[in-house]
Structures are given as structure tokens and as C-alpha cells.
Chain A
Amino acid sequence: MRTTPVLAAALAAALSWAAPARAQLGIDLEPDETKGKETKPRHEGKKPTDRKKPQHRMPEARPAQPQQEAVTLPDFDIGAKPKKGEGAARLAAASKVLASGDFETAALAYDAILREPALAEAHDEARFQQAKVLERLGLHHSALARLDEILSKGPQGSRRYHDALEWLFHVGGKTVNESVIVSQVARYSNGVFPASSQDEFTYLLARYAYERGQALDEAGRQAEAQRSYEEARRLASQVRPEGGATTKGEGARQGDVYARARFLDGLVRYAMGESQAAVESFKDVVRLTNPKRARAPDPRMRELAFLQLARIHYEHKQNRYAIFYYDKMPWGGDSWLEGLWEASYAHYRIGNYEKSLGNLLTLQSPYFRDEWFPESWILKAIIYYENCRYPEARAILDEFHWRYGPAHDELERLTGKGAPTKFFDLIEDAAKGRGAGANPMMRRIMKLAFTDANIKRLNDSIVEVEKEMDDGVGRRREAFRSSALAKELRERLQADRKRLVDEAGARARQKLEYERDALRELLEKALRIKIEISRKERQALESTLSRGGPADVIRNYRYSVAVSDEHLYWPYDGEFWRDELGTYTYTLTKGCRDASVRAER
């Protein structure tokens, strides 16, 4: 009785969920030929959660607004009624304020220009300068929105189009979630990108194509998905090896963009069923991120590359290679526990029950009480079952039911109700330990939701947007806080937050539904193993009765606690030390397995 097919399926799914690999909602799934010209914002054919471009974003498209009252700020009167042709002078005055370092006043000055229809000739420049000022004020999302306004006009519509593209990368690099600019990059993909950002741009475009392929795949449109994957591969191959050396400027993300492109190439190859090519790509990533030789160290990317290599080898039943790569994953890294869990299956496959149980000991230690590895109990029970340790196997399954039965009920209850927004609020409460989320069970379930990299990234963005609303805008000088600009920024940020919350809620729901179904399967499987245990116990009893004495199936195993010179043996006594995690080996002292059979596995 094995659960390896389940794990293999889970691994395949996990491979496709690798950090940058999963599609964000809002990806345009329409065929390319139905798209409008690249300079037009595309609203048609998108999912309901797509970012809508509200009309009020375009100041010149607004109905004439009543003239605002003059707001007098130090050295600059931004409320004076302008005359036509004064744009250059007003821009110069605003630049002067900017040069003085008073960014808040400068932002208001540019806003005043933008709100004045008579100064239309200065709007383009004012908008760009305002985006820069907002970025300097730390209002990244607001700055991105301004840049988006410029980019939506296209190269012909704005003289600052190319500068805006450059700043898009600059500002995007300062946000916690790179995805916020991916859709913009895709939308303006025909724009001529500045040389300094060309590789980054190509990479993001490739990533967008890959995510689109994933979404199409999930929607069952395989042919289109394949085309999208091809496009992703083509784009990823366009990232130049020397590109990695240039990704060190201000605002650039940490790491080597070429390595990231190679990683993406590996994911695409895997998605296309080319495992061997994927392995080569991931090996490239490992070489490129070698901390001793890397141009731009990227430990996370290296860890992910090892994980993917291990998974591919595991999938192809090359268990010892898989273990080799799992062991390469840095201790305590973001995916370390995941690797430890998967490695325990690889150890189980080769009959190394001791190491497998040792890994499970780490996973089930009090340190990781809130982590979600329900299948680890099943694997543990199977190992005991296979060694004819039926009472222990039964006890493990009982504990599994005791732990995860209520969790399944809770998942059923949660996924059966509520709008996405409320759903995300619940997750947030759990993350912050307040309200209904303070319940330990809820906390555990919600932590599970955050294991989805996209939900985590969306949550990071939500937190960033909230911070921008509360601190970035809310803690400015009174003159700024009460201005029309601040009001507009807040409204825009609130709309951004709502969109992100809806998206995160929908994703969390999807994730929990998946986990609910998986848990239900595991509970059923546990029941089947219990029945099997009962059958074996009955057989043993019958055998005992027929022989007139105990059937001696359990025998002591030969074992040694000897370790290499580099290691030290510490007997386990129920206490977990942080530095011991991951090193445990659990000695099975007795069972019914033949040592020679075990060695052959």
C-alpha cells in the first residue's frame, strides 16, 4: 500500500506552482489575434477581477471640475488662476520646489497643473514629474498608477513614454511583489525598452507568457497553452547571459536576471513535458547562483532550482539523485521543510525507513505545529505497517484522525460560504491572530493558505498598499493630507486594495478547496490502511491459533548508532533542539522486514 502516486501528483502540481510559476488572476486569456493594438488598454475579454481603468485616472478626460480654493504652501501658491501658455512657467516653478527637496509641495504643484485644463500642454510633463515625486515620497503604487497613465497613451501619445517605461522598472523593483508590473510590461510589450532594462523586460514578458500558459492549461485550453509556453521559452532565451551583470542598479531586484530566465526556462520545459531539458536549465541556475562565483547571489533561486531538480528525479524514480538534491537545499531555507518532507518519501522508496522517520520527526516537532503536512502521518503509518508494527501504525492513524478530522470539517465549513473579500479578511485575521482567526485551528488552516506563493505575494502587496494609504499618505503634512491629490491617491489605493483582496480571497478559496479535497482523500486512505491493519492482525491471530503458539513475525533488527567522524550521536529523548532539526534518524529496532529485501529496494 503506497501513497506515491498521490505524492507524484502533488509534486507535479507543486512544480507547476513554483514561486514565479503560477498565474496571477487577471491574465488575459484571449487569443492574440483578438487583441487590440498594443497602445490601447485592453479591457475586453478579461476576467472579472481584471484591473479596470477608471476614467478618473485621466485628469484631462474628467468633466471640468470646480476651481479649487487656493492652498498656500511655503514659497509656492498653487491655487492661482492660470492663463493659457503658462504651463512652462508653472512647470519650472514646480521643478524649483522639487529641487529644494520639498517633495510634498512639489507633488501638489504638479497636481495643480494637472487639474487645470488651461495648462494641457504641460500635463504630459507634469504627470511624469509627479510620478517621480510620488516615488520619492515612497508612494510606489501611486507612482506606478501615474506611470500607467503615461504608458497607456502609447509612444505617440506621450513624449515621456520611454522614460515612463524605464521608471516602471525602477519603481516596480522597489515594490514587494514583482507581479504588480508584469501585466503592465505585457501590455506595453511593443514599446521600445531602454537598454538597461531590456533583459528584465524580456524576462517579465516571458514570465507573463508562462503564467498565461498555466492559466490556459488550467482552463483546459491545451493548444493555446502550448503556444504560450513556446512564446515564454522564446522570450526566456532572449535574456542575455550578460544581462545578469547589469541587474545591480538601484531598484533592480536582487539576483541574476539571466539565472531567473534559465529557471523560468526550466519550468516551461517541464510544463511542456521536456524533463531532461528542464533538468539542464535548473542545473544552469545552480551554476549561475553558486555563491562563490555568482555575479549576483540569489540563494532563494538556488534553493528552488535544487528543489525542482530533486522533484524531477523523484518523479522519474531516481530516488538517490532526488535525495542528493534535497540534501543540497539550505538548512532552514524557505522551502527546506517542503524538501525535507518530500525527501522522506524518497528515503522510504529506497527502504531507508530510519531517515524517513527521522525527517518526519522534524516535521512533526513542536516547532512546526502550525505547518501543514497531513500526509506525513500517513507515511509514518505505512512505514510501521510495512514493518508489521500494527499497534503503532494504528495509533498513528488514530492520532491523524484526531488531528485532521476537525481540520477537514473546518475546511468544509470555510469553503462552503463567504465572498472572496470576507474570505481574505479571515485569512488576515488569522495571520494577525485576531477575531475568529485567533483560534489555533483557524490559524493553522490560514497558514496553509499562505503556503501558496501567489497568495503570499498578494498579501504582501495588500500590506504594502495599506501602508501606503495609512503612512505614505496619511502621515503627511496637513496641507498634503487634505489635498485633492491625497484624496485621489487614497481612492486609487483603496480600489487597488479591493482588487488585490478579491484576487487573494479567490485564490485562497481555491487553495483551501484543493487542500480540503486532498485531506478528504487522506482521511479515506487512513481508513483503508486501518482496515488493512485489522486484516493483517486477524491473519496473525489465526496463524497463532493454528500453530498453537505466537507467530514470530516480529524480530529484532540489527542496528548501530555509529556515526562518521564528522558527526556526533545524540540520543533522542523527546527534546528538540533547533540545530538538530533535519538531522534526525529514527532507529527502528524491530519489525518483520528482511534486511536483504530492504537493501535491494
Chain B
Amino acid sequence: MTTRAARFGLSCAVAFACFAPAAARASAADAFENKIKPISGQAHTKAGKLELTLPTGQVSLMDAFFSKYMVGAKLGYHFSEAFSLGVTGAYGTTDPTGSTSVCPLNAGCQPASAPQLYQVPGLIRWTAAAEVGFSPVYGKLNVFGEKAVHFDLSIMAGADLISYRDVISADQASAGVVPGYKVTPGGHIGLGTRIFLSRLIALRLELRDVVYSVSSLSSGKLQNQLFAEIGLSFLIPVGGSSADGGAR
């Protein structure tokens, strides 16, 4: 497979300029560079469109204690091909991970008990977030020399509200205290891609790192939760069309 990509926007160019070697940035081979845009008649545009991702399925990655399975929805608006603003929410269930097994010296391994799990963080019930997306890369993949698949790459950041189960001490757990749920502000950053299935539908894949604070912990209060997300996006034109003028 071969990948080619176009870069949009001055900010994007600046961001990439930090990483790209000089020769790569000023290709003498491209006589049209700086004269005409990399793409004309772009087939898959986002500017002026509402994007509804429904449903989104989220699964946590690399959490030591709880695997989270969440279902949600996302609604965003693309001000331009590069920038978007959106809100998202997800609700789900959790399962203790395999690593929560307890193996006493004189007995076989067994799953951690509920009081033991009350003492560890990572059980999240729901999340809600507002986020800004920046999508500097639009490209296409040549699949086996037969089919072209269009995609974009984006980065996003946002503010979250996270509902999590509180953490209690071993003594409290032994005393039969059951922890309640708390809501705390947090934030996230993420990377995402859309694989365009048609002009109005895209498969959306994201990787997000959600950061929030668990105040009950005596140390390591700041928690990271990594989520992988998949969803089907519907791009609904509501504003002006793409500045590109559309395809032939």
C-alpha cells in the first residue's frame, strides 16, 4: 500500500516544519508548489458539515484493574477542513482485568474480591467531553493497486467530566464500606483518523488518553486511561460547502 497525503493550513505547515527535514519541505521537483493547492476538487470534504458519530464503541487499553466497554455518541461541527468543535458522551460497563487475580502463598490464584477492587482506581461509569479537533492531513491509500481509500488524520484535545468509582482504604474496605461514585473534571488528548466510505459516511477510529484526578488516593492521584474508539460518522452538510469548489 502506498500513502500520500496533503497538508493544509499554515499552522499545520509550521507544526510539520518542526519535524520535516529541509529537503522534504521544499521539493524542487514540484513546479506547482506554492502556486496551486495540493488537491483540487477534493472528493471528501468536511468544511461546513455536522459530523454525527453514532454509535461510538470505546474500549480501554492497558488498564491494570478494569476493562471498560463504553457506548457513546459524538456530535461535531467542522468550521473548515482543518478545524472542528464537538461534544461527546459515553456510558459503559467494566470488568476486572485478568491481572486482578490474587495469589496467596498458601492457596491458588483467585479473582480479586469486591473489597479488594474498591481499593484500586480505574472504574469509570461515564464520560462527557467538549473537544477541539485539528485535522491537518488528508490523503489516500492505494490498496493493492486497485482501489483508492481516502482518509484523514487529526489530533484532538478537550475538557472532560468523568464519573468514576471512588477509591477507599483497606481498613474501610474491611469494615464493609462501599465506595460511591464521584464526578471530576479532566482532560484528554487524542489521535484520530477517518476512513471515508462515501462522501457522507466515514469510519472513525480514535485513540484517546483521558487524564483525571482521584482525590482519595494518597499518591498517584493523577490517573491516565487510554481508550480506543471506533464509530461510524455521518457528515451532514449544513453550512457553506468546501472552499475547494467540489469535484467535476
Contacts and interface: CB of A to CB of B under 8 A. Distances in A.
Are A and B physically bound partners?
yes
Contacts of B42: 575
Interface stretch (A130-138, A279-287, A577-585): A577-585
Of the candidates B31, B147, B245, the one having the most CB atoms from chain A within 10 angstroms of its own CB is B31
Contacts of A367: 32, 36-37, 40
A333 interface: yes
Contacts of B142: 568-570
Nearest to B245: A366
B55 interface: no
A333 B140 CA distance: 26
Contacts of A365: 40-41, 248
A366 B145 contact: no
Q: Is chain A's interface secondary structure helix, strand, loop, or mixed overall? A: loop
A324 interface: no
Given A367-B40, A570-B142, A570-B148, A575 B247 contact: yes
B148 A366 contact: no
Contacts of A33: none
A317 B244 CA distance: 40
Given A577-B4, A578-B32, A568 B38 contact: no
Interface in B212-248: 244-245, 247-248
Contacts of B32: 332, 367, 578, 581
B174 interface: no
Interface string B29-51: 01111001111111100000000
A331 interface: yes
A574 interface: yes
B39 A577 contact: yes
Given A568-B145, A570-B148, A576 B31 contact: no
Q: Name, among A575, A577, A579, the residue most crowded by chain B CB atoms within 10 Å (CB to CB).
A: A575
B15 interface: no
Contacts, number: 66
Interface residues of B, number: 26
Most buried by A among B4, B41, B146, B244: B41
Contacts of A571: 146-148
B41 A576 contact: yes
B interface SS class: loop
B107 to A, nearest CB: 62
Contact of B31 (A332, A364, A563, A570): A332
A575 B38 CA distance: 11
Contacts of A563: 145
A59 interface: no
A336 B32 CA distance: 11
Contacts of A578: 30, 32-33, 36-40
Contact of B40 (A332, A333, A366): A366
Contacts of B2: 568
Contacts of B37: 367, 578
Nearest to B246: A366
Nearest to B35: A332
Interface string A353-370: 000000000001111000
Nearest to B248: A574
Nearest to A333: B31
Which of A333, A367, A570, A576 is packed against the most chain B CB atoms within 10 Å?
A: A576
A574 B41 contact: yes
Contacts of A568: 2, 142, 145
B158 to A, nearest CB: 31
B20 interface: no
Nearest to B38: A578
A577 B244 CA distance: 12
A74 to B, nearest CB: 44
A594 interface: no
B198 to A, nearest CB: 11
A577 B247 contact: no
Given A331-B31, A332-B30, A577 B43 contact: no
A555 to B, nearest CB: 25
B31 A330 contact: yes
A471 to B, nearest CB: 25
A569 B244 CA distance: 25
B41 A366 contact: yes
B38 A577 contact: yes
A445 B230 CA distance: 50
A367 B148 CA distance: 21
A574 B30 contact: no
Contacts of B245: 366
Contacts of A331: 31
B103 interface: no
Contacts of A574: 41, 43, 247-248
19 contacts: A330-B31, A332-B32, A333-B31, A336-B31, A365-B41, A367-B40, A568-B2, A568-B145, A570-B140, A570-B142, A571-B147, A575-B39, A575-B42, A576-B40, A578-B38, A578-B39, A578-B40, A579-B30, A579-B38
Interface of A: 330-333, 336, 364-367, 563, 568-571, 573-579, 581
Given A574-B248, A578-B32, A578-B38, 5 more contacts: A366-B248, A574-B43, A575-B140, A576-B40, A577-B38
Q: Which 10 A-B pairs have the closest CB atoms?
A: A332-B31, A574-B247, A575-B43, A366-B40, A576-B40, A367-B40, A366-B41, A578-B38, A576-B41, A332-B32
